[in-house]
């Protein structure tokens, strides 16, 4: 993923982990130059051997670069695109700076836009404020409305934190019914404090599990096939024996390196620090950085560092220890490396086992996973 503005953002979300990354570049302008932009696009296209090249724009807030920057990016992509190769652009935005010009551009170039909305107004504005401390819900919803107006393909990213962890159904129904979300992703906020503590904004392990369970129960009865929740899609992949599409649930990681505004490449945005810097694309080819021993070792460490307690766990196939950044607790047997969210993962994966087994079996028979809704109704009728 490319971060053309680095950590620079027009918001000051209380739980944002990337704002502090600005300290990596105390004298930086946090604005990608045209030279870095062209070099990145040329190299990322050259490095791909598949007919589809995905370019992911993130931040900070990438729209702070202005529309002209992205127009140039599209021109450069077409200049270097090989015959028979398609380029898919994605962008993650807070939505507050969008207007008709932005939405029209996204539609014209077939961007997939991720927009951050944490739920109804009170919940969203609890932590998602601008640099002056003002609420951002209205501006984010205006941005979402523009995406819908212009027919832009989009998904909604919702953080689970202390302000919404006990309101799962309210959050989900808002995203589904009022925000019109058809593709939704839930990300737990875990801000480490000290050796084993977390910030007051962080989600609790058990509330995290209950949050997902409550939404799953609504989704599996009413919305399978019409609303796509990435967390549930990843779980279904695990039950069906399909490689997961998210690094969090994969056995190894390191598949989502990050490019900073100046061309520096890190193994992951959660590990954007000097110890995990792979190099700079203006000095070393991107393909060499991606093939570096450091990146390979980082990816393997997720598996090799998995505690024995986790290796014996019956839901390991779906969890794989979670994100390494959250592995800062001690296992019951005293071994280090237990994920902070472990209890939540166990609550969730245990709860969804039966319907997941049904959907996975349906997939193996080339059936439709949405048949689970009728199966759930019949099951409930038998119980009554």
C-alpha angle with apex 145: 141 to 147, nearest 5 degrees? Answer: 115
Q: At 12, which helix (H) or strand (E)?
A: none
What does the DSSP 8-state code read for residue 292? -
- Choose the catalytic residue: 269, 273, 326, 368: 269
- Six-digit token string for 70: 């992205």
For residues 282 and 377, give the distance between their C-alpha atoms in angstroms, rounded to a whole number: 58
Burial of 67 (0-12, 13-18, 19+ CB in 10 A): middle
* Residue 366, C-beta contacts closer than 8 angstroms, at least 6 positions apart: none
End-to-end CA distance of the chain: 50
Distance CA 313, CA 157 (A): 29
Residue closest to 39 by CA, chosen among 292, 259, 266, 254: 259
> Among this protein's residues, is 269 annotated catalytic?
yes
161, 207 Cβ separation under 8 angstroms: no
Whose structure tokens read 């000051």?
Answer: 12
Residue 69's contacts (CB-CB under 8 Å, 6 or more residues apart) are 4, 32, 37
At which residue do the structure tokens 């006990």 appear?
Answer: 166
- For the chain, the maximum distance between any two Cα atoms, rounded to a whole number of angstroms, is 68
Cα 258 to chain centroid distance, Å, stands at: 13
Q: Which spans in 12-129 are helix H?
A: 34-47, 67-80, 100-108, 121-127
The sheet carrying 264-266 orders its strands as: 258-259, 264-266, 277-280
* Positive/negative CA dihedral, 15, 173, 125, 58: positive
Residue 363's Cβ-side half-sphere holds a number of Cα atoms within 13 Å equal to 16
Catalytic positions? 269
């Amino acid at each position: 993923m490319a971060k053309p503005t680095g950590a620079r953002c027009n918001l000051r979300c209380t739980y944002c982990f990337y704002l502090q990354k600005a300290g990596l570049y105390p004298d930086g302008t946090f604005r990608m130059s045209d030279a870095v932009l062209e070099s990145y696009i040329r190299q990322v296209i050259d490095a791909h051997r598949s007919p589809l090249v995905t370019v992911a724009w993130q931040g900070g807030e990438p729209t702070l670069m202005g529309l002209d920057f992205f127009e140039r990016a599209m021109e450069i992509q077409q200049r270097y695109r090989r015959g028979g190769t398609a380029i898919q652009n994605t962008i993650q935005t807070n939505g507050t700076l969008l207007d008709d010009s932005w939405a029209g551009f996204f539609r014209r170039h077939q961007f997939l836009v991720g927009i951050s909305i944490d739920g109804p107004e009170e919940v969203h504005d609890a932590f998602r404020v601008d640099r002056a401390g003002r609420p951002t819900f209205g501006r984010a919803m205006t941005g979402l409305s523009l995406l819908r107006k212009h027919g832009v393909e989009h998904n909604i990213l919702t953080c689970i934190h202390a302000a919404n962890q006990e309101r799962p159904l309210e959050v989900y129904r808002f995203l589904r019914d009022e925000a019109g979300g058809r593709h939704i992703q839930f990300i737990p906020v875990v801000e480490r404090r000290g050796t084993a503590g977390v910030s007051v904004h962080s989600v609790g392990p058990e509330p995290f599990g209950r949050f997902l369970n409550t939404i799953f129960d609504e989704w599996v009865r009413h919305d399978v096939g019409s609303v796509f929740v990435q967390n549930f899609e990843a779980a279904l992949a695990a039950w069906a024996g399909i490689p997961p599409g998210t690094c969090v649930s994969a056995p190894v990681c390191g598949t989502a390196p990050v490019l900073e505004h100046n061309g520096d490449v890190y193994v992951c945005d959660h590990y954007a620090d000097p110890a995990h810097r792979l190099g700079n694309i203006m000095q070393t080819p991107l393909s060499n950085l991606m093939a570096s021993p450091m990146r390979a070792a980082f990816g393997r460490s997720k598996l090799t560092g998995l505690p024995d307690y986790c290796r014996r766990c019956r839901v390991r196939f779906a969890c794989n220890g979670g994100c390494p950044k959250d592995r800062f607790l001690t296992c019951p047997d005293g071994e280090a490396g237990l994920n902070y969210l472990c209890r939540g993962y166990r609550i969730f994966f245990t709860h969804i086992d039966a319907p997941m087994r049904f959907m996975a079996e349906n997939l193996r028979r080339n059936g439709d996973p949405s048949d689970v809704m009728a199966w759930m109704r019949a099951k409930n009728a038998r119980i009554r």
